[in-house]
């Protein structure tokens, strides 16, 4: 599973690098957190993605982990959508587990899933106004296909609860 995820990361990195080379002013950058603040739902992760993400969580200071714990607990009770990612650092607008983040986070700005309405409206606006015209997006169907080999899928809240119960 780890090899499959590493291969998938390499494929995504290659695509992202190609898009950035073609469009050096691509807007996804540190501090741009609109997508993290407007998730359609609680993030869903495969077992392989969760294994990686928990390595990132284990590196966080206890205080930071405590904040995340509280926000995840609140999220389990929140009936409304969209949701703010409970991992997002709300002060800096950065992802505290960036190197370990899920595939959906790595691909959101660079791949389109128009049939599911999952793509960045900020980028869409720039494509529409011609600032980012002629972009060749990544193919999300290929990503979805590879995700099927990464184990069962659960909500982030559920993975986190199981992880907490083990510690």
Q: Draw the binding track, 74-113, toward ligand SF4 (x: CB under 6 A; -: no contact).
A: -----------x-xx------x-----x---x--xx----
Interacting residues with ligand SF4 between 9 and 68 (CB under 6 A): 27-28, 32, 34-36
Interacting residues with ligand SF4 between 126 and 165 (CB under 6 A): none
Element (H, E) at 36: none
Buried b (16+ CB within 10 A) or exposed e, 17-32: eebeeebeebebeeee
5 part of the interface to ligand SF4, by CB under 6 A: no
Q: How far apart are CA 143 and CA 12, in angstroms?
A: 9
Helix (H), strand (E), coil (C) string for 131-161: CCCCCCCEEHHHHHHHHCCCCCEEEHHHHHH
The two three-digit tokens of residue 64, written as one number: 């930071």
- Total residues interacting with ligand SF4, rule: CB under 6 A: 17
The least CB distance from residue 108 to ligand SF4, in Å, is 5
Q: Site residues (CB under 6 A) for ligand SF4?
A: 27-28, 32, 34-36, 85, 87-88, 95, 101, 105, 108-109, 120, 122-123
């Amino acid at each position: 599973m780890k090899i499959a995820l590493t291969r998938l990361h390499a494929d995504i990195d290659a695509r992202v690098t190609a898009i950035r080379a073609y469009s050096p002013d691509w807007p996804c950058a540190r501090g741009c957190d609109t997508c993290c603040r407007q998730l359609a739902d609680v993030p869903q992760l495969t077992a392989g993605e969760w294994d990686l993400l928990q390595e990132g969580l284990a590196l966080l200071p206890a205080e930071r982990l405590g904040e995340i714990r509280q926000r995840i607990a609140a999220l389990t009770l929140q009936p409304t959508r969209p949701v703010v990612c409970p991992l997002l650092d709300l002060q800096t607008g950065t992802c505290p587990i960036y190197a370990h983040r899920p595939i959906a986070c790595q691909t959101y700005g660079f791949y389109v899933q128009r049939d599911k309405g999952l793509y960045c409206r900020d980028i869409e606006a720039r494509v529409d106004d011609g600032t980012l015209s002629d972009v060749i997006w990544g193919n999300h169907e290929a990503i979805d296909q590879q995700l099927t080999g990464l184990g069962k899928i659960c909500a982030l809240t559920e993975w986190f609860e199981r992880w907490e119960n083990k510690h």
